[in-house]
Amino acid sequence: MSRATDRRFGKRDGRPFTFVFEQRTVEAWPGESVAAALLAADERHLRTAEDGGARGVLCGIGVCWECRCVIDGRPNTRACMTEARPDMQVRRQRGLSE
Amino acid sequence: MMPTILIVGAGPAGLMAACEAHRRGAHVILIDEALRPGGQIYRQPAPALGPAAIGLVTERQRKNTILETFASIANDIDYRPNTTAYAIYAGPEVHIAHGEQSEALRPDGLILAPGVSERAVPFPGWTLPGVLYAGGTQALLKAQYVKAGDDVVVAGAGPLPVVLAAQLVEAGARVHSVALLHPMRRMTRKPLSLLAGRAVVREGFEYLKILRRAGVNVLQEWMPLRAEGKERLECVKLVRHDGSGRPLSHSERRIECDLLAINFGFTANSELVSMADADLIYDPERGGWLPLVDRFCRTSVANIFAAGDGAGLGGAWAAAAEGRIAGAAAVQSAQNNALESLNRELAADFLQRDRHKKFQLAVRETLRLPPAVWSWADPDTIVCRCEGVCSDRLRQAMADGHVTLDSIKRNTRAGMGWCGGRTCLSAVAALIADGHPSSSIKAMTPRPLARPVSIAALAQHRAQSDVANTATSGKLAAQT
Ligand SMILES: Cc1cc2nc3c(=O)[nH]c(=O)nc-3n(C[C@H](O)[C@H](O)[C@H](O)COP(=O)(O)OP(=O)(O)OC[C@H]3O[C@@H](n4cnc5c(N)ncnc54)[C@H](O)[C@@H]3O)c2cc1C
Ligand code: FES
């Protein structure tokens, strides 16, 4: 069920830009976290645990580390605590680190 | 001499502590890992996002009062956002990190106001992407103006599920059902407490009105049976329970959705106070491991104070009052003055705190988790998400005689992953208590770091002499 409706609401200043998640180009707005931009783009699966299970945002506030991705080559980077920036390269993290 | 007061946490408790300590002439350092002041309930969006779009008028007014009061002193104190306290040693000596820089501070008084985290209750499928904590979902609404899903089920205990469901409706999501563990009327078991919190109760009715208008099903005495989907949440099965958390047959409801928001209460962020060697008590109803404090927020360790929800759940209003009390008490203590004079000076704050703590007695009636909740997990349901430890593995360890958290942790690795046990340990403790009611649950020996910090930050650690230097040299290397 991937109905891509607009998950954003409220007013936003500035202009949207894009970054890359896996192979996909994802839109983000100034001030948004990587996690928020990915959820708005309906990307849920942010890391794959050692047992192969898909995981994504749980706490949204930096506590659980379930959203850790590889961002611009840095593993274990929490998507919910990282501000999205133009042309960022974000990948799913596999296993404990990589 | 002007004492230096260090405050950890810029939620209502920490912000009000900062204002009060500043007002009394202290040099105040306030740190918070978040980028902006406000804490959980008064979380603020990035400036590039416009003004707040959701929330009741009354809540927004409260938020503005707190934030404006703080804004009026923010430039006169040493406020450091994006800065984490990751260790405390005797002294108190507090180690903080900002990006790749770290340093040690030795204040004359320390106020810990770190708030709470959401309490994990594992059930089948809770690890699927699309199952989020309700508070986390709310943080995305408040600070990002993003709904984490379009078709939503909310489940849990206490007031937050209702609040969040209403806020999602306001943001334009389709909320199908809210499954509450306990009937709301349970709160009336404590009528006097309800009266004490009537302003909050009124807000509760406003939220329910929003849900009614939107046609949201509010199911009472229901629980999540399982979340299902391949690589992401596709549907939720809810079921009615018998009042003690055991599912009733033939009452199952299957709902297709892309977001399941859950909240089963909170656990106090007590790593720091535990590392400071303060005496703790274990009270799951008030937030798990809590510092023992007196009415002036003093812990058992000299010059360390604890305030706000992290010192025992009391809600945002109690947290603000408690912050002021702690701020005043920390300054008085640092100057070796008796605290009793504060009883009169802060009479209104003691009253506000006591009133809201009294209201919490009613709230607690809807937050109490019946023991059967700890049997919701299937044997292969993951409890420790970082290390992938299943419920079955934990029960095996207990059967083998591991009945303290430390022992379970060493045996199974539960609680040893990236989150430092902040997600699963309260659940593991509850599982132990469930299986071994007689065992006393001791807080786990804290690891050297209460928070993960970058190796670079540790390597760059400034062997810093004392805070007096800090005061004169102004903002530290952390900022440069
Ligand atoms: C996600 C979430 C949503 C919530 N939503 C509501 C709600 O809608 N309504 C309601 O009544 N209550 C809500 N609560 C409960 C809430 O905690 C209280 O109402 C109120 O925010 C408590 O204030 P506080 O000052 O004690 O703590 P908080 O507001 O939690 O503030 C604590 C601050 O400390 C910081 N901090 C913690 N540890 C460290 C550290 N080691 N180093 C640096 N900084 C640190 C945190 O970043 C945070 O900003 C929510 C709680 C959570 C976790
Ligand atoms: S979602 Fe929990 S740390 Fe990012």
CATH at residue A73: 3.10.20.440
Q: What is the pTM of this model?
A: 0.91
Is residue A4 assigned to a domain? no
Helix (H) or strand (E) run with residue B20 in it: helix B12-23
- On the question of pLDDT at B192 being above 50, the answer is yes
Per-domain boundaries in chain B: 4-118+267-345, 131-264, 379-432
With a cut of 50, say whether residue B223 has pLDDT above it. Answer: yes
**Domain-located, residue A61:** yes
Task: For residue range B385-437, list pLDDT tens digits in order.
Answer: 999 999 999 999 999 998 888 889 999 999 999 998 889 988 998 888 777 65
Chain segment B338-351, per-residue pLDDT in tens: 999 999 999 999 99
From residue B255, how far is each of A25, B4, B224, B282, B370 by CA, in Å?
31, 55, 11, 37, 25
Dist. CA B254–CA B145, nearest whole Å:
29
Tokens of B146: 């993003």
Q: Could you give the CA distance from residue A53 to residue B125 in angstroms, rounded to a whole number?
A: 10
How much is the pLDDT for B51?
76
Rounded to the nearest angstrom, the distance between the alpha carbon of A71 and the centre of ligand 2 is 14
Q: What is the pLDDT of residues B264-274, one digit of tens each?
A: 999 999 999 99
The pLDDT of residue B477 is above 70? no
pLDDT, residue B451, reads: 66
Q: State the ligand closest to the CA atom of B15.
A: 1
A60 occurs within a structural domain: yes
pLDDT at res. B55 = 77
**CB atoms near residue B161 (< 10 Å):** 25
Query: Chain-wide mean pLDDT for chain B?
Result: 90
- Tell me, yes or no, whether A31 lies in a domain: yes
Alpha carbons within 13 angstroms on the beta-carbon side of residue B136 total 33
B395 membership: H or E segment, kind and range: helix B391-399
Nearest Cα residue to atom 37 of ligand 1: B114
Q: Is residue A43 a part of any domain in this protein?
A: yes
pLDDT band at B59 (very low <50, low <70, confident <90, very high): confident
Compute CA B48 distance to the chain's CA centroid, rounded to the nearest angstrom: 27
CA B450 to chain A, closest CA, distance in angstroms equals 11
Answer whether residue A98 is part of any domain.
Answer: no
Is B297:B329 a contact under the CB 8 Å cutoff? yes
- Amino acid letter at B281? I
User: Ligand 1, residues B7, B41, B94, B170: which to mutate, most atoms within 8 A of Cβ?
Assistant: B41
* Pairing between β-strand B4-8 and β-strand B109-112 as defined by DSSP bridges: parallel
B69-74: long-range contacts (C-beta < 8 A, 24 or more apart)? B69/B15, B69/B16, B69/B19, B70/B10, B70/B15, B70/B18, B70/B19, B70/B37, B73/B18, B73/B19, B73/B22, B73/B23, B74/B37
CATH topology of domain B4-118+267-345: FAD/NAD(P)-binding domain (3.50.50)
Per-residue confidence (pLDDT) for residue A44, from 0 to 100: 96
Ligand 1 first shell, C-beta below 6 A: A 61; B 8-14, 31-34, 39-41, 84-85, 113-118, 135-136, 138-139, 160, 163, 269, 272, 308-310, 315-316, 319, 450-451
The whole domain housing A85 covers 17-93
pLDDT the model gives residue B197: 87
φ/ψ bin of B301: left (φ > 0), alpha (ψ from -120 to 50), beta (otherwise): beta
Collapsing DSSP to helix, strand or coil, A5 comes out as coil
For residue B405, the one-letter residue type is: L
Separation of alpha carbons B355 and B164, rounded Å:
24
Specify the ligand 2 atom closest to the Cα of A58. Answer: 1
Can you say whether residue B172 is alpha, beta or left, with left for phi > 0 and alpha for psi between -120 and 50 degrees? left
Residue whose pair of structure tokens reads 């704050």 in the numeric block: B349
Chain A residues lying within 8 Å of B149, measured CB to CB: 7, 39
Residues found in chain A: 98
Domain count for chain A: 1
Closest among B440, B433, B437 to B394, alpha carbons compared: B433
Ligand 2 centroid–CA B55 distance in Å is 23
Tokens, residue B203: 């807000």
**pLDDT for the residue numbered B469:** 38
pLDDT value of residue B47: 83
- Comparing CA positions, the residue from B63, B385, B453, B143 lying closest to residue A61 is B143
Nearest CA-CA partner of B217 in B261, B187, B255, B250: B255
Tell me how far apart the terminal alpha carbons of chain A are, to the nearest angstrom.
30
How many CB atoms are closer than 10 A to CB B100? 14
Instruction: Summarize the confidence of residues B231-254 as an average pLDDT.
Output: 96
Q: Ligand 2 centre and the CA of A65: distance in Å? A: 5
Q: Which amino acid is at B138?
A: Q
Chain B interface disruption, residue of A27, A33, A50, A59, most B CBs within 10 A: A59
Among candidates A1, A64, A68 on the partner chain, residue whose Cβ is nearest the Cβ of B234:
A1
How many alpha carbons lie under 13 Å from residue B70 in its C-beta half-sphere? 26
Walk along chain A (98 residues) and give the pLDDT tens digit of each residue.
334 458 999 888 889 999 999 999 999 999 999 999 999 999 999 999 988 999 999 999 999 999 999 999 999 999 999 999 999 999 999 986 54
pLDDT band at B246 (very low <50, low <70, confident <90, very high): very high
Is residue A71 in some structural domain? yes
Name B305's Cβ contacts closer than 8 Å, sequence gap at least 6.
B109, B110, B111, B112, B293, B296, B297, B298, B299, B326, B329, B330
For B101-168, the DSSP string reads EEEEE--SEEEE---EEEPP---TTTTSTTEEEHHHHHHHHHHH-B-S-SEEEEEESSSHHHHHHHHH
The SS3 assignment for B38 reads: coil
The percentage of chain B sitting over the pLDDT mark of 70, rounded to a whole number, equals: 90
Write the residue in A12, A60, A68 that is nearest to B418 by C-beta: A68
Segment B433-476, tens digit of pLDDT: 777 655 555 555 554 456 666 656 655 565 443 433 333 333 33
Which amino acid type is present at position B67?
Answer: L
Nearest to A61 among B139, B149, B452 (CB): B139
Q: Is the pLDDT of residue B479 over 70?
A: no
> Does residue A3 lie in a domain region?
no
Contacts of B83 (CB under 8 A, 6+ apart): B31, B32, B33, B96, B97, B98, B478
Nearest chain B residue to A35 by CA distance is B140
Decide if A44 and B144 are in contact by the 8 Å CB cutoff: no
Taking the C-alpha atoms of residue A25 and residue A87, their distance in angstroms, rounded to an integer, is 9
Do the domains at B4-118+267-345 and B131-264 have one common CATH topology? yes
Whether B38 contacts A19, CB under 8 Å? no
Residues 6+ apart with CB under 8 A from A86: A17, A18, A19
Measuring CA to CA, how many Å separate B182 from each of B28, B186, B214, B242, B369?
Answer: 43, 7, 22, 10, 9
> CATH top-level class for B131-264?
alpha beta
Q: How many angstroms does the Cα of residue B93 sit away from the middle of ligand 1?
A: 23
